[in-house]
Structure formats: C-alpha cells, structure tokens
Amino acid sequence: MTFRSVKLTREGGVATLTITSKKGALGPAFWEDMARVLTDLDGARVLIVRGEELFSAGLDVTASAASIAPALGDPEKFRAVVDDMHAAIEGLAALPIPVIAAVHGWCIGAGLELIAACDLRVCSADARFRLPEVRLGITADLGGLQRLPRVIGHGRAAHLALTAEPIDAPTAERWGLVTEVLDTPDALFARAQQLALHLAGLPARALEGTKRILNDDLPHARSLADAVQWNALHMTAEGLASALKT
C-alpha cells in the first residue's frame, strides 16, 4: 500500500508510521493516509509514530484552507470538514495495540493533539511542544483539550492551551507529557524501537485490556468491574501458570 504523506514500515511485530510531508505538516493527504494506515496494521503488536525532519509543524493550513474557508459560520459544514481529522486521531487512540510517539524537533498544534492520543511519548533533547491555536483565533478541536488534562493535569494543559507558549523537552518530561528524554534523535528512535520490541514480547490481550482500562475514563467502580470482567474473559490457565513461575 502506498501513501502520499506517510511511510509505514514493519520489523517483526513493530510497525513504524513516519510522517514524511514537509515539516511534518498535517494536511488532507495525511488524514486520508491515516484512514488507510489504521486498516493496514494486521499482525502489528506495537505502533511507533515519528517524524522525518521533525515531528510535526501542525495542521497544513495552506492545504486545508480550501475546505475550511467555505465552512466558516456553518457548524454542520465545519464538522464535516474535521470529520476525517477526528477519525484519524480517534482511530489511533482506539487501536488495541500500544502506540508510542517518538518526538524530535517541533511538535505543534495538531501534532501535539496527535501525540496526546498515543499511549507512550518519548522525545529527544531538541523537542519543543506548542499548542498555538489561540494565537491564530482558533480553539483546538482535535482532542488535545480533552486528553491533555488527563496526561499532564488541568493546570498545565490550561497553561499550554491559553498562553500558546512553547515548552522544551525537560519541561515536557517534568510535566509528564513525555516519560523519557534522549540526547539525540538517533538515540530517541533506538529507544522507541527498544520499547516497542519489549511491548511486542508481552501478552497482547493483557496489553489491550490494560490500555482499554487506562483510557476508558469511567467512574472508578465501573472501571474496576470492567478490569475484572476483562480478566475473567481473557486470562488463560497457561498464562496464570507462567506468571506463578516468575
């Protein structure tokens, strides 16, 4: 399968999605490619999402203007314009496999909302993160305002979204946006691959259930009951016996 703005490669059970558009800009081609990528992951145990020259400069406003401009002032038309974007990011979040974002360079706007939908986020020391929408007269509408408070807390998410100021890699790690900072992009990609191979070696059903419960955003008692039900349906005698030996 060929794509216009991304590249999908595989090594064993690890799939890697590389954003190949100029400066990682997310335009119509990217959202169309994502719809196809999400249906082309059979057999993958883990997905890494990364950029090429940098992670992402955000939404490709120039390429998207032709569809956005006629929809301004009409909520129904505007919703139709962003449907493909929502489908891509929500589809990424809904994958039953772990998704690792490996961020180097700038990660801006829609790119930041994209990584908020990933399960694990690591970056290199040159990474910078920014949600600049308010400076452009826009309210971020691709899931960042919903997910970031869960990832880094309401106050820090509000700081990012309301000030539109960038944060650097050490700040992102301190806030919990990323869990590790590597010295160089090469070290970052090697670490992402190492994490992915580790995850690929773990029981797939256990990973799927853990991801589902972490992300379900349900009341405590309901989420706890769902975890018990998942184990009742998917835990195996062989797995239990193996666990008892370790």
Active site amino acids = 113, 133
Picking from 145, 179, 178, 143, the residue whose alpha carbon sits closest to that of residue 164 is 145
Picking from 79, 76, 81, the residue whose alpha carbon sits closest to that of residue 65 is 81
Quick one: how far is CA 157 from the chain centroid?
16
Quote the CA–CA distance of 151 and 161 in Å, as a whole number.
Answer: 14
Distances (CA, A) of 206 to 29, 47, 211: 34, 16, 9
Q: Where are the beta strands (DSSP E) in 77-125?
A: 99-103, 106-108, 120-124
Quote the CA–CA distance of 40 and 126 in Å, as a whole number.
Answer: 31
